[in-house]
Amino acid sequence: MSSRPFPLIAGVDRCMIKILFDQAVLVEYGPMRMIIHAFEHGKPLVDLAQEGAHNAIQVLEDIARFLPVIRQKAHQIKLGGSVPDVVRRMVEATQKMGEPDLTPLAAVAGAASDVVAEFIVRRGGTKIIVDNGGDIAIRLKEGEVANVGVKTEVDAKNPSYVVPIEAASRIGGIATSGLGGRSFTKGIASAVTVFSESASLADAAATVIGNSTNVDDPAIVRMQAEKIYPDTDLAGEWITFRVGELSREKIEEALCHGLSKAELLWKNGLIDGALIALRGSIVFTDFLKPRLSAL
């Protein structure tokens, strides 16, 4: 997702791991709220999901230790050998986007999901789903399918569409960004959902595509990021604060910008597909045409 408030976790007094009614495991620690599903041919593997939850805590602590590094612009970072996997994934995913203003925090949630999913799948299971606030890592073995809900507003309670993901598709991550969520964005999209080989890439790409849905209009209010969150990694940059009524032409222009960026990322091999939504209108790449179903 777009760069967000990401506080240090030193002194955090709340850490919770809880088994949910559907046998998923919830872990909450500092800014992280992650839900972990692990299955073996339809049978829930609760113990394995709990192992993943404990691993997630270590992943977040690794991120916190490297905050001075990951708050820098991604293109300026050169990593050494002794870097945690989650930090390396964040840096590499954002560097691949080729955007000069991106920091690795644009891929923080997706990278954490990836690392936890990889930790679990090495220990077993045929279907692993790690949902870190909507940035989702999926690991499927042959014959498994995951149905993924897609929202047209980042803060909507329920999805508007569903997309089946099969093991053969090799989709390993889905991420959503947009105005009104936990993240900062420079665009005006209500939601951008990206499908990619990893949650890290999907997260970074959703940020980039969301940022590209930008138009000039008096109804769009922008502010410097530090005016909203003083400790942001986007200090000095203008982000979208509020969007009023827009003409149909402006909505179509913004969606066109987003779709063009998504198609460029697809051509560069960074994503498999994307859906961009704004004020009840959607556009999407060819990948979703045979897969997208309304709910």
Separation between Cα atoms, residue 91 and residue 104, nearest integer Å: 5
CA dist., res. 89 & res. 109, Å (int)? 11
Q: Are 125 and 50 in contact (CB under 8 A)?
A: no
Question: For residues 113 and 131, what is the distance between their CA atoms, to the nearest angstrom?
Answer: 7
Residue-level pLDDT at 228? 83
Judge contact between 60 and 17, C-beta under 8 A.
no
| pLDDT over threshold 60, residue 67 | yes
Pair 273, 194: CB distance under 8 Å: yes
pLDDT digits (tens, 9 = 90+) for 82-99: 899 999 999 999 999 999
Token pair belonging to 54: 């404990």
What's the CA gap between 227 and 223, in Å, rounded? 7
Amino acid at residue number 239 = I
User: What's residue 138's pLDDT?
Assistant: 98
Alpha-carbon span 218 to 294, nearest angstrom: 33
145 alpha carbon, distance to own chain's centre: 20
pLDDT digits (tens, 9 = 90+) for 103-120: 999 999 999 999 999 999
Q: Of the CATH numbers 3.20.10.10, 3.10.520.10, 3.10.580.10, 1.10.510.10, which one belongs to the domain with range 15-290? A: 3.10.520.10
User: Considering the chain, what is the average pLDDT of its residues?
Assistant: 93
Instruction: Give the pLDDT of residue 61.
Output: 93
In the chain, where the domains are located: 15-290
pLDDT in tens, 1-11: 444 444 444 44
Radius of gyration from C-alpha coordinates of the chain = 18
